[in-house]
Amino acid sequence: MKAHTCYHCKQWIEEGEAHDCWTTTEEALTRDLPEDLREAWDRLRESLGDFGEQRIYASHNSIMFSRTACYAFVRPRPKRLEVYFFLGRTERSPLVQKSGASSTVKIAHRVHVTHRDQVEAPLTDWLREAYDVSESLSHRRTSAPAAKPASRAKAKAAAKRKAAAKPQPKARARTTKRAAKERPASPTRRRTKLRAKAR
């Protein structure tokens, strides 16, 4: 499926991203977790939730953490939590199981968590970074195709501003306009014009 805004939750869904927020709940995805993972999940959710304004929702087999677009998600597995997050760079720590470009500007990273003690720096720093850069990365993606017309319009506006900045022509134009208003084309002038045309 193409990238689109979900009809149900109004989230921006990337192309190819599995999404079924209308049939999944956070509770359903986490209720069968063993105790260690349950504790890790609780701490993870709290840490992510504390970053600030966002939407947290379940979809498919993951719990999504999203600003304009998803910046991180957690996939509960029987023996671990798979934590995915998106940065504008590649983090090369050995804690990262896997990383790879998920779009032209986003690098996806996967970290495995099996215990709540792992939910701390550096993982929480990376997640915080993912939250922080999310808006600018999403913006870069959405604004990219519109770049050409926008810059053309900008150039036009700049040209207009430049023209307006020249005081003399502007002043003259205004005077002419006002003069025309105050003194509607006089019959004499119109006649002159007609004569000029006839010649």
The region of 13-21, 75-83, 88-96, 130-138 touching Zn ion under the rule CB under 5 A is: 13-21
Q: Token digits for 67?
A: 């600003």
In the complex, least distance from residue 124 CB atom to Zn ion, rounded to whole angstroms: 26
Contact 76, 37 (CB under 8 A): yes
In the complex, least distance from residue 72 CB atom to Zn ion, rounded to whole angstroms: 17
Our finding on whether 8 is near Zn ion (CB under 5 A) is yes
In the complex, least distance from residue 119 CB atom to Zn ion, rounded to whole angstroms: 26
The region of 3-11, 40-48, 102-110, 148-156 touching Zn ion under the rule CB under 5 A is: 3-11
Which one among 3, 6, 33, 105 touches Zn ion, defined by CB under 5 A?
Answer: 6
Long-range contacts, 7-13 (Cβ 8 Å, 24+): 9/55, 9/57, 11/55, 11/57, 11/64, 11/66, 11/69, 11/70, 12/66, 12/68, 12/69, 12/138
Minimum CB distance to Zn ion smaller for 6 or for 33: 6
- The pairing of strands 12-13 and 55-59 is unpaired
Which one among 14, 17, 21, 130 touches Zn ion, defined by CB under 5 A?
Answer: 21
Our finding on whether 3 is near Zn ion (CB under 5 A) is no
Q: Virtual CA dihedral for 158, 160, 163, 164, nearest 10 degrees?
A: -110
Q: Which residues bind Zn ion (CB under 5 A)?
A: 6, 8-9, 21
